[in-house]
Chain A
Amino acid sequence: MIRLKINGLSIEAPQGSTILQIAERKGIEIPTMCYLDNHEHFPSCLICVVKDQQNGKFIPSCHTKVTESMDIVTDNEEVFEARRTALELLLSDHVGDCEAPCQTNCPAYMNIPLMNRLLASGRFDEALSVVKQDISLPAVLGRICPAPCERACRRRNVDTPVSICLLKRYAADHDLSSKSHYMPIKSNSNGLKIGIIGTGPAGLSAAYFLLQKGYICVLYDKNPLPGGALRYAIPDDRLPKDVLDMEINIIKQLGAEFRMNHEMKENELEELRHKYDCLIVATGEDNTSFNGLEKRNRAFITERDTHRTSKEGVFAIGSAIKPGRVAIRAVAHGKEVAIAVDQYLTGQSVTGEVRMFNSRFGKMIEEELKEYMLEADKGPRIETIENEGFSLEEVKKEASRCMHCDCRKQVECKLRIYSDKYGAIQKRFFPDERKPVRKIFKNKPVIYEPEKCIKCGICVRITSEHKEELGLTFIGKGFDVEVGVPFDNEKVNALEKTAILCAEKCPTGALSVNENENK
C-alpha cells in the first residue's frame, strides 16, 4: 500500500493505481475528457490536471501513478485556473453552437430545434411537451408572437426562416383538439402561498410554473375575466377567445385560484404581502394605481435576472417592469420568476434562471450554410393565409426545413459541462478568423463535425481496438491535426462496427448519433 495525501486527506492506495482512480474512490471529483476507462490511454486534454505540492508541477491525474508520500491538490484556485485555461484553449479551436440561435433569441429559451424535429417526425405530443417546458400559453403565442426566434433562424440566410411560430401553434392546437390535454407533472403541495396580481400572460405563466412546483397560487385581477391584455387588447380574429380560455383552463385545472373584479386599493400591497409568502406583481403597463414599490418612468424597478423589487418578498414581471406588451417576454418572465421565487422560499441563493454555458460561433458563411442544408428540406417556407395554421403535411414539411443548428450533444458534451462548471470564457483566445464548419454524414449512423473535435483520440483507439477495416486515424500533426478516415472515399463506411460506440464515447459533439438515421 502507498500512503499519500489528496487535498490534505491521508489516503492509502494500492500500488499501480492512478491519482484519478484513488480520488474517485474517495469521492473527490476530477473532470476528465480524453480518458476512457479500460481502454488504452494517453493523456492529452489536460482537464484532469492536479498539482503535485512537492515539486509544484501540474500533472494529469488520469495517467499519473500514485507514489509514496505524494501530496496532491485537486481543488484549489490554481488548479481550477489550469483547467479553465485548458478549456478556453480548446474552446478557441472549437467551432459550434451548443444551442441554436433561434433558442437563444427566444425570450423563453424554448428548445425550438427539438420541437421542430419531433414535429417533422410526427411526434406531436412530445413536441408539445417540449414547448410547454418553457411556454405556458403556446396556442395563444402561436397566434400573436412577434417571433424573435425567426429573426435569428439561420435558414434566413439561405432563403426564408423556418415558420417556427406556426409550428408551435400546430403543436398546441393539436393538443387542445385532443381528448386529454397535456398536463405537466405537479409536485406535492408544499403549503406555501403565492399571491399574483394580474392575470395577463405574465401572471398566468408565473402561476403555471409555480403550481407545478407545489405552490398554492391565488391570482387577482380588476377585470371580470382572466387574460389581461390578451383578452382586452387583442382583436378576436387574431386571437379567438376560446383558445385563450382553453389554455387558461389548463392553468385552472393545475389548481390556480382566481379573485376577479378585484381593484387594488392604495395600500393593499402591504396587506397582501402579509397574507402570502410571496407576492408577484404582474399588473401590466397600467400600474398607476399602485404604491409601495420603487418605479422609474412608470415601470417598477427590479433586479435583472430575479425580478426582485425593492420590497422583500415582492417580485414584479411583464409589462409592469418593461412596457411594450410583448407577450412572449411576459410569458418568459413568468417562468423566470417562478424559479426565483422558488429559490427564495426554499432558502437557496436567489439567482434566477441559470443558463448553461453556451458556445456560439456567430455568422455563417456560404459554404457552411451548404453543409447545414444537407440536413434540411430544400423547399421554400410554407405560407398560410392570414390567421390560418398548418395542415398535417405542411407541418411535417415545414419542420423539416430546420437545419439542426443546435448541437446533438448539448446535454452530454463534457466540454460544455466543464466550461460551465469552471466558468470558461469562450472568446478568451478565440481567433479573429475561425475555421469553417463541416458536417460529414457518410459514416452512418453518425455525424462527424471535425470543428468540434478536441483531438482526444478516443474514437481512434476504439476503431483500432475493434479492428475496423478502415477506422479513424490522426491525419497531419500539430495544430492542424484532424481525425479522419484513411484513404477517404465517399462510398466507404469507415465505421462498420463502432459508429454508435464512438459517438457515445466522444466527449464533445464531434461525433454524434444522427437521430434521423434511426427514424
Chain B
Amino acid sequence: MIDQRFTDLERIIQEKGKEKKSVIPILQAIQEKYNYLPEDILKEVCKTTNITPDLIIGVASFYTQFRLLPAGKHIIKVCTGTACHVKRSELIYDAFGRELKLEKGYFTDKAGLYTLEKVNCLGCCTLAPVVQIDDITYGHVDIEGVSQVLKSFTREKQANAKLKKSHLEKMTKIQGEIRVGLGSCCVASGSEEVKKSVESAVMDKELNVHLKRVGCVGMCHQVPLLEIIPDGKDPVLYANVQPGDVKSILHKHFRPSGMWQRIKTSLFDIAEDIQTDRNWEGVDRYALDVREKHVSSFLGRQVPIVTEYRGAIDPLDIAEYLYRGGFKALGKCLKEMSPDELILKITESGLRGRGGAGYLTGKKWRTLKDQPGDIKYLICNGDEGDPGAFMDRMLLESYPYRIIEGMVIAAYGTGATQGYFYIRAEYPLAVKRIRDALEKCRLKGYIGQNIMNTGFSFDIALFEGAGAFICGEETAMIASIEGNRGFPKLRPPYPTEKGLWGKPTLVNNTETFAQVAYIVRNGLIDYTRHGTAHSKGTKVFALAGKINRGGLIEVPMGITLREIVEDIGGGVAGGKKFKAVQIGGPSGGCVPEWLADTPVDFQSLDEVGAMMGSGGLVVLDETDCMVDISRYFLAFTQSESCGKCTFCRVGTKRMLDILNKICTGKGSVRDLEELETLAGWTKKGSLCGLGQTAPNPVLSTLRYFRDEYEAHIHGKCPTGKCRDLITYTIENNCIGCTKCVQNCPVGAIPFTPYEKHVIDQKKCIQCDGCRQICPEDAVSVS
C-alpha cells in the first residue's frame, strides 16, 4: 500500500519536476489523487526533490485550494460571491450545516461523505445563490431546497455511472445545427444535461444534425440556452430549457431520417408522454424570438469586440476562428508591421489595462520592449478573483484563440520570449479549454517555433492558480509561478523591469489581450469610435444582483450606469427600488442611484469613489443593507490579505472588528470615527493594491450612506438584514397552516394548528425560513 503511494508520487514528480517552481503543480497533483495533502507524502516530496519542508508547508498553507486534513468524499461549496451574498447565501450555508448535522467547528459530516466549504465566487452570479457539489453546480438554491439538492446529487452520481457514449461523430447527412451554450453559467444551470438529452434524442431518432457547443452568449439570466438552426430556415432560440423539454423541441424541427425510425419514435414519444406527463406546450413556453424586444435590448446596446461572434462560434474550433478573421491580425503584425509600429498603434488606440488600474497598455509594452536582455516573459492574468466577476472566465472559456492571438501579438511587439497563462483554480473549464486551444495552436503553428512561417517564435505555458485572490496582483502572481507563497513585492521595480525569475515581464489582463487583435485588424478609427476622451473601446461587465436580466455584457466606455441597469439589465427585479450599484468589487465602491448617470470610464468612476475594477457590477435594491455590503467586501479582502504588511493584515482585521460591532448594534459614534481614520491609514500604509483599495467599499458607503451606519449604531438595521438587529414576528393574518412550524430548523415555533403561530425569540436564529415559506406573507421582520 505504502509502496504504491510512493510510486504514484514518483510518477507525479517525474511529470512535474523536482525544482522549487514545481511545488504548486506537485501539490495539486497530490491533492487530486488523495483529496488532501497527506503528511507522509509531503515529507517524501522533500526527500526526493529540491523542495524544502519550509517551502512546501509555507505554500500548502497559503493557498486555499490545498487541504492539509482529509475531507469528506464530496465537497459542497457554497458560493459567497457578491451576487450570492445579496441573495443571502449565508443562510444557505447554515442550512447545509443543519442538514448535515455538523457540530460547531466541524465541516465534515460524521459519515465522512460531505465536507461543507464556502467559496469566494464560482462565477455563476446570475444563478445566485449557487452551490457546487464536486463538479455539479446548482443554481437558485433556497433554504427549503437544500435537502433536495443533496438527494438530486446522489441520484445524479448514480445516473452518471451509466451514461452511454455518444456516436454523433458518425452522422453524415446534416439536417441542421443545434447550438448548446456551454459557458460555466449554462453548465451550472444544467446545459450539460440538456446537451446529453440532445445527444440521446439525436441518437434515438438518428437525426443527422450538427451539434455544436458555443461559448457564453452573455444572456446568463436565461440559461440553459438552446438554439436550433434548421437547414435553410430561421434560427429559433430556446431559453431556460430543461432536459425533459429537449425531445419535444427537436421533434418540432426535425424528422427522423428513416420511415421505421419515424414510427418507432412516435410510438415511443406517445408512451413516454403518458409516463412523464409532458406535452407540446413546453416548446412554446421556452421559445424566445431573437427579435423580441427585451432580448434585442439586452444585446442591442452592447458592442461585441472581445465577445465578437458570441453564441455563434465554437470555442475550440480553430477553423471557424480562422474563417471569422482569426489570426489575421497576427499575420498582419508579423508580416507587415515592425514591433515599434505595433506598439505605436496600441498606444494610439488608447487601450488601457482592463484589470482595474487602467494603465496605458502601449506604454507598458514600450517599457518591456526597451528593457535589455534576451529573455522576457509575458503573463496573461486570468486569476479573476473578485467576487461577483466572471468576465475573464467567460472570455477564457469562449474565446481562447482570441486571447492567445493577443498574447502572441504582444510578444511580437515587446520581444517577449515565453508566455504564461495564470488561471485561477476555481475555473476548471477555462483551464481545460485553454489547454486544448494551446495544443491546437501549437499544431497549427500559431505558437511555438517559427510562427506562421515568419521565423518568430514564442510559446505559452499554462499555470493553474491555487486559490489566492492576492495572486491577481502581478508581483504576487509572479511569486506564485516561481513556486512561492503569494507575497506581493514592493514596486518599483515594476515587473516590466524585474519580473518573473528576475527578468522583464509583461503582465496584462485577459480582457486586455482579448482587445488587441480587434484593434490591429480593424484599425484605430473603428476602435476609437467607442468610448470617451480618455477611455477607449469597450468594457466587459458581469452584471448581476437584483436585476431582471443579468449576464455578461460588453458595453462601450462612456455608457452610463443607469443605461446598463435600465436598458440592458431591464431594471431592478421584483418591482423593488434601485438603490445603488456596486462596481469594482472589493476594491471598488458603491455608486448610489442618484449618481447612476455617471458614465463608465476610468476617471468618472474614480471621482465618485468607485473604480472600474475588473468588471463586477452588482445591482442593489432598497432591501440591501449598505453596512452589510461594506462588511461583506471588507470580510473578503481581510480574509484574502496575504498577511505580510501591518496595515493590511491587522488594519483590515480591526476595521472588520469595528464593522462587526456596528452590525450587531454594539457600535458607537466613536467607532465610526475610528473606522474612518483606520480606513485612511490602511489605504495609505499598505504596499500593494489589495490593502490600498480594501477600505474603498467602506469609505464609499460611509460617503453616501452614512445614515445607515448611524441607524445601526442606534440599534436598527433599516433594511432588516443584520441578524443581530432584527426580530421575526408572525402577524395576525397567519392562518395557522403550520408550514413555518415544520420548516423551522430550530423548533422555535410551537405546533399550534389553526391558531396564530408564535416565534420563540430565544430560539430563533433569524434564518428567514418561515418568512420564505409562509403562504400568507404573515411573517414580518423588524
Instruction: Enumerate chain A interface residues (CB-CB to B < 8 A).
Output: 42-47, 49, 57-58, 60, 63-65, 82, 85-86, 89-90, 92-93, 429, 431, 454-455, 460, 463-464, 469-481, 486-487
Contacts and interface: CB of A to CB of B under 8 A. Distances in A.
Contacts of B524: none
Nearest to B683: A58
A486 B651 CA distance: 28
A46 to B, nearest CB: 5
B650 A478 contact: no
A234 to B, nearest CB: 51
A486 B641 contact: no
Interface string B608-649: 000000000000000000000000000000111111111101
A46 B647 contact: yes
A480 B55 CA distance: 18
Contacts of B53: 469-471, 473, 486-487
Given A42-B487, A474-B643, 4 more contacts: A82-B685, A476-B62, A477-B61, A479-B650
Given A49-B685, A472-B54, A486-B54, A89 B646 contact: yes
Contacts of A42: 487, 489-490, 644
The 7 closest A-B pairs by CB, nearest first: A473-B54, A486-B57, A481-B643, A486-B53, A89-B650, A473-B58, A478-B643
Contacts of A469: 53
Contacts of A90: 646, 650
Interface in B465-509: 468, 485, 487, 489-490, 492
Contacts of B56: 486
Nearest to A87: B646
B685 A477 contact: no
Given A58-B684, A470-B53, A63 B643 contact: no
B739 interface: no
Contacts of A58: 684-685
A73 to B, nearest CB: 14
B687 A60 contact: yes
Nearest to B493: A65
Nearest to A57: B684
Residue of A58, A470, A479 with most partner-chain B CB within 10 A: A479
B647 A89 contact: yes
Contacts of A477: 61-62, 468, 485, 641-643
19 contacts: A42-B489, A44-B645, A46-B685, A85-B647, A86-B646, A86-B685, A89-B646, A429-B650, A460-B54, A473-B53, A473-B54, A474-B61, A477-B641, A478-B643, A479-B653, A486-B54, A486-B56, A487-B43, A487-B57
Contacts of A471: 52-54
B42 interface: yes
Nearest to B64: A477
B39 A487 contact: yes
B26 to A, nearest CB: 15
A229 to B, nearest CB: 48
Contacts of A479: 638, 641, 643, 649-650, 652-653
A151 B602 CA distance: 64
Which among A57, A474, A478, A481 has the greatest number of chain B C-beta atoms within 10 A? A478
Given A89-B650, A481-B643, A463 B687 contact: no
Contacts of B654: 89, 92, 429, 431
Contacts of A473: 53-55, 57-58
Nearest to B489: A42
A44 B685 contact: no
Contact of A474 (B58, B492, B641): B58
Nearest to A82: B685
Contacts of B657: 429, 431
Contacts of A487: 39, 42-43, 53, 57
A42 B645 CA distance: 10
B685 A85 contact: yes
Contacts of B62: 474, 476-477
Contacts of A46: 645-647, 685, 687
Interface centre among A44, A93, A454, A455 (most CB of B within 10 A): A44
B280 interface: no
Contact of B647 (A57, A86, A454, A474): A86
Contacts of B490: 42-43, 60, 63-64
A477 B243 CA distance: 44
Contacts of A92: 650, 654
Interface residues of B, number: 40
Given A43-B490, A58-B684, A478 B57 contact: no
Nearest to B54: A473
Contacts of A454: 646
B681 interface: yes
A160 B647 CA distance: 42
A168 B62 CA distance: 51
Contacts of A85: 647, 678, 681, 685
A219 to B, nearest CB: 52
A478 B635 CA distance: 12
Contacts of A460: 54
Nearest to B651: A89
A63 B490 CA distance: 8
Interface in B673-694: 678, 681, 684-685, 687
B689 to A, nearest CB: 13
Contact of A478 (B492, B642, B684): B642
Contacts of A60: 490, 687
Given A60-B490, A475-B57, A487-B39, A455 B649 contact: yes
B645 to A, nearest CB: 5
Nearest to B62: A477
A472 B39 CA distance: 17
A470 B54 contact: yes
A478 B43 CA distance: 25
B638 A478 contact: yes
Contacts of A429: 650, 654, 657, 678
Contacts of A43: 490, 645, 687
Residue with the highest number of chain B CB atoms closer than 10 Å, among A64, A93, A460, A486: A486
A92 B61 CA distance: 24
A3 B297 CA distance: 60
A475 B684 contact: no
B45 to A, nearest CB: 11
Contact of A476 (B54, B61, B645, B651): B61
B138 to A, nearest CB: 29
Contacts of B681: 82, 85
A78 to B, nearest CB: 9
B392 to A, nearest CB: 23
A65 B494 CA distance: 13
* From A57, A82, A481, residue with most partner B Cβ within 10 Å: A481
B54 A478 contact: no
A215 to B, nearest CB: 46
A150 B654 CA distance: 36
Contacts of A474: 58, 61-62, 485, 643
Nearest to B42: A487
Contacts of A475: 57-58, 61
Contacts of A470: 53-54
A480 B56 CA distance: 18
A4 to B, nearest CB: 15
A511 B61 CA distance: 22
A476 B640 CA distance: 11
Contacts of B492: 65
B639 A478 contact: yes
Contact of A44 (B42, B639, B644, B684): B644
A82 B651 CA distance: 12
A470 B640 CA distance: 27
A103 B705 CA distance: 49
A474 B58 CA distance: 5
A104 to B, nearest CB: 26
Contacts of B642: 477-478
A90 B53 CA distance: 28
A249 B641 CA distance: 64
